[in-house]
Structure 1
Amino acid sequence: MRITFLVRSIWGIGGTIKTTLNTAEALVELGHDVTIASCVRNKAKADFAIDPRIEVVSLWDVRKPEEGGERLSFLDRWRMKRPSFLDADKVNNMGESSKLLDVRVRKFLQTHQTDVLVGTQISINLYMAAYGRPAAYAMVAQEHLYLDHYTDTLRGLILEHYPKMDAIVTITDADAAAYREALPAQADKVVCVPNSIPPSSKAPSELTEPVIMTAGRLTGMKGFDILIKGFAQVADDFPEWKVKIFGRGKDRKKLKGIIDEYGLQGRVEMPGPVTPLDAEWQQASIAAIPSRFEPFGLVIVEAMAAGLPVVCSAVKHGPLEIVRTEENGILVEPKQPKQLADALRRLMSDPSLRRKLADGGLNTAKRFEPGQVVGLHVDLFDKLVKARA
């Protein structure tokens, strides 16, 4: 099959980018022709490695011309300053949103040849609903957030336009149930396919290094401030332990201020983004995921695949479907540094508990390996293509 993924940008770091690449690589491994169409390109090299068998096209290179970007025509410069048709509903959250991007995406959707076109977020899916060619290819709306997260305005757009799709793919069973309830006439179109993560390239952690690790964008959503405050409550009792927070984001200065406030300089480190993280996970003994909001939680599975016990906020939907307290991790009340501290204390003081939960996590992670998950994608795509024959 010819399968195309349309993404906002494939060049950065994020869960949607990573899982799209994981899925694409698993599909080309099976012999399918895979294209990733990135609406924008803003750097010379992608943060994640991209399999050379995957064709990557960019619809708009937003870099400066001297850095390899486009030299726009007068008309395109005019379009760049005009709002996207999606902006009125506050759908997009990226600076490149504009009439020019609308034009580029429309041209691509009107001319691209493929069997299956997969959108990867609400703005892309609404572009597909507006400009896609349902007579030419099957259209699949992937959701990497969850229905209840959206504002009433965006939820209304979803309920109006997603029925135009051939399939709606969620990443959790709970979200699939929510879509079926909201769109009963389309219930048979809704399918849950979880995100995938390949096995770690390193041996599982020996769980002997006194390191608590986490990774993600440095934003309020990820709750790293909660982790710092929780660690502050146990730091004096475990002077050899430290915390490493990998990632970049707008809250770096704020988090540094919290580290300084609690006197944790040298005990809490923020090394920045690192890809891949396999070697870093291997040198840690506990994974802490203190998110305020986590639709799936790819980092949870990544930590489990590296052989780490996971302490995670009990937020919907992913953590509640992945983590089982006392089996493969520990769930704690969200936004509660004291509860997080208590869970960390248990694991820091009990190597046998770390090993037990890590072993459970390794078994859980196997369910999310691309080789296991890709079959669900192939079954769905094959069904959609055959239905059109």
Structure 2
Amino acid sequence: MTATSAPTAATRTRDLFLIGNTTDELGGVTAWTHQMARLFTAAGHRVHVIGVYEHELKMPLPADPGYRITALYPSHPPSPRTLRGTARLNPAARRREARRIDGRRQASALLSSLFREAGPGAVAIVTQVWPMEWIRAADTAGVRLIGMSHESYAYTRACHRYRSVKRDYPHVDRWVALTQEDADDWIADGLNNVGAMPNALAHLPAVPSPRTENVVCSIGRLADQKGVDMLLDTWAEVAPDRPDWRLHLYGAGPDEAELKARCARLGLDRSVEWRGRTDDVQGALAGSSVFVQSSRGEGFPLALMEAMANAVPCAAFDCAPGVREIVRDGEDGLLAPVGDVDALADRLLRLTGNRRMRDTMGERARENVQRFSQEKVLGMWEDLFALLER
């Protein structure tokens, strides 16, 4: 069964809540959320996608996706402010904080009412740690909680979310990292309710890329985590030796203006094309012969799997266990030490300079990535749901 085949029916129909920062933000976690919502719905579950707020940089969604979608706030909720000194006597500041607290109370009450509607065996999958602030205040009686992290252990360890994981995830029924290596790292860090769950391959195209275009493709948000600045530095080393190749950058984000200025300073405007957001990832990959990922940190990147499913060989920074679990270095793609621009340039030069290597690795990538098919991953989720009922 391929990644696009219909999933097998669930062993038991459940109410499933997928709860994240937003319902519609353009990004990998939201894409995963709606992919799994469709998969769980097709398997017979009753699915409800819940976000803390509606995002301004929206992912296009169908008018009727086939499952419920709820945002607790219409826009980003205000952050808590500690009132110190004279601010404690400021009536306007006190009113703002009172409104924030009341809004949080109402949002948690809404969550409680949604949970109370659920039938026996209900499960809430918390896809990101921030929503736990509202879930902690909600009535979760009768609902099993699964926490998730869509980042590597190392990436979370280096940022503020680490404190949230350590505070909130020991209290969920189970929480899952994206790889066993990440799960082992969390266990070594003192958490004992951790398992692993890979992302599922969303789509296996009937016709893969012919790899006939001299195009290297990158797909991702134009933000620091995705390392597009390092990719431009890499391309500055590749472009002089590959004057007939082009780098296509798909994505939007807060760093767009700065990155375009950097591109101009490096003299790359004639070989780099900024393609913007795309809803046609398969079309972008079909017109490419190599995929490149230059992220500083990742979890289990969907774009990498999609490129491989399209038989497009990948060069990537080895920035997370999920990357090296997807790409078998030297067999179906090439990895470079994270942040090593010279090494990533070497991998791109090898792939762009050797048609036989591209074809061989591309075909292997398409075959190998199918070990993450939707059917297999859905089966893992069903096993986890059953385990939580024991």
Q: Give the residue type in structure 2 aligned to 1:36.
A: V
Q: Distance in 1 between matches of 2:373 and 2:381?
A: 13
Q: 1:133 aligns with which of 139, 147, 154?
A: 139
Q: Distance in 2 between matches of 1:56 and 1:199?
A: 23
Question: Equivalent residue of 1:8, what SS?
Answer: strand
Q: Give the residue type in structure 2 aligned to 1:106.
A: S
Q: 1:83 aligns with which of 54, 57, 80?
A: 80
Does residue 142 (structure 1) correspond to residue 148 (structure 2)? The answer is yes
Q: Distance in 2 between matches of 1:225 and 1:110?
A: 44
Q: How does 1:237-386 map to 2 (within 5 A)?
A: 237-384=241-388, 386=389
Does residue 120 (structure 1) correspond to residue 127 (structure 2)? The answer is yes
The 3 A distance-change label for structure 1 pair 172 and 126 is farther
| Structure 1 residue 202 displacement after superposition | 5.7
Q: Give the structure 2 partner of residue 90 of structure 1.
A: none
Q: Distance in 2 between matches of 1:315 and 1:285?
A: 22
> Unpaired segments of 5 or more residues in structure 2?
1-13, 83-98
Q: Distance in 1 between matches of 2:30 and 2:333?
A: 26
| Structure 1 residue 132 displacement after superposition | 3.8
Does residue 35 (structure 1) correspond to residue 48 (structure 2)? The answer is yes
Q: Distance in 2 between matches of 1:102 and 1:84?
A: 14
Q: Give the residue type in structure 2 aligned to 1:58.
A: A
Q: Give the structure 2 partner of residue 60 of structure 1.
A: 73
Count residues with an aligned counterpart: 355
Does residue 236 (structure 1) correspond to residue 240 (structure 2)? The answer is yes
Q: Normalization by structure 1: what TM-score?
A: 0.84
| Structure 1 residue 320 displacement after superposition | 2.2
The 3 A distance-change label for structure 1 pair 287 and 104 is farther
The 3 A distance-change label for structure 1 pair 178 and 100 is farther
Q: Deviations over 1:213-240 (max 9, x none)?
A: 0111111221112222222222122222
Q: Normalization by structure 2: what TM-score?
A: 0.84
Q: Give the structure 1 partner of residue 3 of structure 2.
A: none
| Structure 1 residue 192 displacement after superposition | 0.7
8 A contact 1:202–1:278 mirrored in 2: no
The 3 A distance-change label for structure 1 pair 51 and 104 is same
Q: How does 1:217-236 map to 2 (within 5 A)?
A: 217-236=221-240
8 A contact 1:84–1:98 mirrored in 2: no
The 3 A distance-change label for structure 1 pair 3 and 45 is same
- Which of 238-247 and 256-265 deviates more? 256-265
Q: Distance in 2 between matches of 1:233 and 1:23?
A: 39
The alignment yields a C-alpha RMSD, in angstroms, of 2.4
8 A contact 2:48–2:68 mirrored in 1: yes
Q: Give the structure 1 partner of residue 183 of structure 2.
A: 176
Q: Distance in 2 between matches of 1:123 and 1:250?
A: 21
Question: Equivalent residue of 1:266, what SS?
Answer: coil
- Which of 238-247 and 98-107 deviates more? 98-107
Question: Equivalent residue of 1:177, what SS?
Answer: helix
| Structure 1 residue 105 displacement after superposition | 3.1
Q: Distance in 1 between matches of 2:281 and 2:78?
A: 39
8 A contact 2:250–2:278 mirrored in 1: yes
8 A contact 2:152–2:322 mirrored in 1: no
The 3 A distance-change label for structure 1 pair 367 and 173 is same
8 A contact 1:167–1:191 mirrored in 2: yes
The 3 A distance-change label for structure 1 pair 48 and 246 is farther
Q: Distance in 1 between matches of 2:302 and 2:384?
A: 22
Q: Distance in 2 between matches of 1:314 and 1:47?
A: 30
Q: 1:167 aligns with which of 153, 164, 174?
A: 174
| Structure 1 residue 295 displacement after superposition | 2.2
